Amino acid sequence: MSNAETKLRVLLVEDAALVVDQIRELLATVPRIEELFVVSTERDALRAIAQFEPHLAILDLKLKEGTGFGVLRSLGEMKSKPTTIVFTNYALPHYRDLSVLVGADYFLDKSRDFESLPGIIESLDLANRPPRGPLLH
């Protein structure tokens, strides 16, 4: 199966219902996505990662309970972890630096990079993934 045909399980960690709807609509255009799981808290994200073993986790930084940073820190302790995309409205340099430090593979600004998300997902090469992927924007 080629990279483009590999089906993906994706976890979206986002607590704003309107944003979830917009991202769902955007991700519906990505044929590689087989399953999309949505949770709104750090605790539920870690539970979903353990249960569903997603290939990709899209993380907001600010959650109603916990943070995307907390999810990233916990992933660093796991043997097998999903590729991670921090997808935030708080695309400040110090948030980006901290995201890199705790293991994010990508860091995207929701307002500036929203339309880039499908292309990034389509281009993921999970079979040849380096320990830490490229960071964008």
CATH architecture label of 8-123: 3-Layer(aba) Sandwich (3.40)
The per-residue pLDDT for range 92-110, each reduced to its tens digit, is: 999 999 999 999 999 999 9
DSSP H stretches of helix in the chain: 17-27, 42-52, 68-75, 93-101, 110-113, 117-123
Q: What is the pLDDT of residue 133?
A: 47
Does the CA dihedral 104-108-114-120 come out positive or negative? Answer: negative
Distance in angstroms (rounded) separating the CA atoms of residues 88 and 108? 6
The per-residue pLDDT for range 71-99, each reduced to its tens digit, is: 999 998 887 899 999 999 999 999 999 99
* CB-CB contact of 88 with 95 (8 Å): yes
What number is the average pLDDT over the span 8-22? 97
At residue 129 the predicted structure's pLDDT band, cuts being 50, 70 and 90, is low
Higher-pLDDT residue of 77 and 22 is 22
Q: What is the pLDDT of residue 93?
A: 95
Q: What is the pLDDT of residue 110?
A: 95
Distance in angstroms (rounded) separating the CA atoms of residues 23 and 110? 10
